[in-house]
Amino acid sequence: MTKRVAIFISGGGSNMRTLVESMQGDHPARPCVIFSNNPDAAGIGWATSKGLATEVVDHRSFGKDKAAFEGSVDKALAPYNADLFCLAGFMRVLSPAFVDARANQMLNIHPSLLPKYPGLSTHARALDAGDTTAGCSVHIVTPVLDDGPILGQAVVPIETGDTVDSLAARVLTKEHQLYPKVLRRFAGGNRTRFDL
Ligand code: GRF
C-alpha cells in the first residue's frame, strides 16, 4: 500500500520540495498534505501551485497553549489519514503527546551531525567549536528534541573562511539529497541506517 505522507514546514520549504519531487513512479509514498504553522511560509504557495493539499494552523493564535495548537493541527490533518509525517524545516517543538500519537511514523531532518548540536544555531556552534566537518541527520522523532534513532547522515567539510551562511548552504545541498533517500527507504519498510 502506498504510504500517505504529511510534510510539516515553517519557511521556504526547500526540503519539502525535494521530498515531493522524489515521490513519483514506483516510490512507495505520496504526499497527502503540506502543513505549516506559518501562514507566510513560502513553501505553502509552492505546494498550492503544484495542486497539493495544504493546511495552515498559525501557532501565534494560541499564545502559549500548545495543547490547543496541537489539537487544532490534529483536527486539520485528520481527514488526510497520513501514514508518515516528515518534519522539514518545521520550527516548532511538538509535545510528547503529539509525538507519541505518531510513534515511529514521524521523521525529522536536522542540520547537524547528531548527537552533536541538537536545537538551534547548529552551524554557528560547529564553527565556534573549530569542527572540521558538519552535516545533517534524518532521525525518527521521539519526545526528546532532535534525539531519536538516526536513519541517515551526510557529512560536509568545513572550509577555511566558512561563514554560517556558506556552511548552511553546503549542508542544505546535502539535506536535499539525504532526506528523499531516507524517506524512500523508510516508506518501503527499510529502517536500517543509510549514510550518504
Ligand atoms: C534546513 O536546514 C532544515 O534542516 C532546518 O531549517 C532549514 C529549512 O530549510 N531545520 P527549508 O525550509 O527546507 O528550505
Cβ 141 vs Cβ 87: under 8 Å:
yes
CA-11 nearest atom, ligand 1: 12
Per-residue pLDDT tens digits for 9-32: 999 999 999 999 999 999 999 999
Cβ 12 vs Cβ 43: under 8 Å:
yes
What is the CA(118)–ligand 1 centre distance, in A?
A: 14
pLDDT for the residue numbered 113: 98
Per-residue pLDDT tens digits for 46-66: 999 999 999 999 999 999 999
CA distance 171 to 72: 33
Cell numbers of 158, please?
568545513
Average pLDDT rounded to a whole number, residues 67-92: 97
pLDDT for the residue numbered 181: 98
pTM metric for this prediction: 0.96
CA-111 nearest atom, ligand 1: 4
Pocket test for ligand 1, best of 108, 138, 172, 182 (most atoms within 8 A of CB): 172
Give me the active site residues, please: 110
Block residue for cell numbers 543509510:
194
pLDDT for the residue numbered 66: 96
pLDDT for the residue numbered 196: 94
Average pLDDT rounded to a whole number, residues 94-123: 97
CA distance 175 to 109: 7
What is the CA(89)–ligand 1 centre distance, in A?
A: 4
Q: Does ligand 1 lie within 6 Å of residue 114's CB atom?
A: no
Per-residue pLDDT tens digits for 125-152: 999 999 999 999 999 999 999 999 999 9
What is the CA(1)–ligand 1 centre distance, in A?
A: 29
Q: In 3-state terms, what secondary structure has residue 150?
A: strand
**Cα dist. 6→47, 50, 104, 107, 150 in Å?**
12, 15, 14, 11, 20
Q: In 3-state terms, what secondary structure has residue 75?
A: helix
pLDDT, averaged across the chain? 97
What is the CA(5)–ligand 1 centre distance, in A?
A: 18
Q: Cite the beta strand spans of the chain per DSSP E.
A: 3-9, 29-36, 54-56, 84-87, 106-110, 133-140, 150-157
Block residue for cell numbers 520550527:
91
Pocket test for ligand 1, best of 22, 109, 156 (most atoms within 8 A of CB): 109
CA distance 108 to 130: 26
Nearest CA to ligand 1 atom 9: 89
On the CB side of 49, CA atoms within 13 Å amount to 6
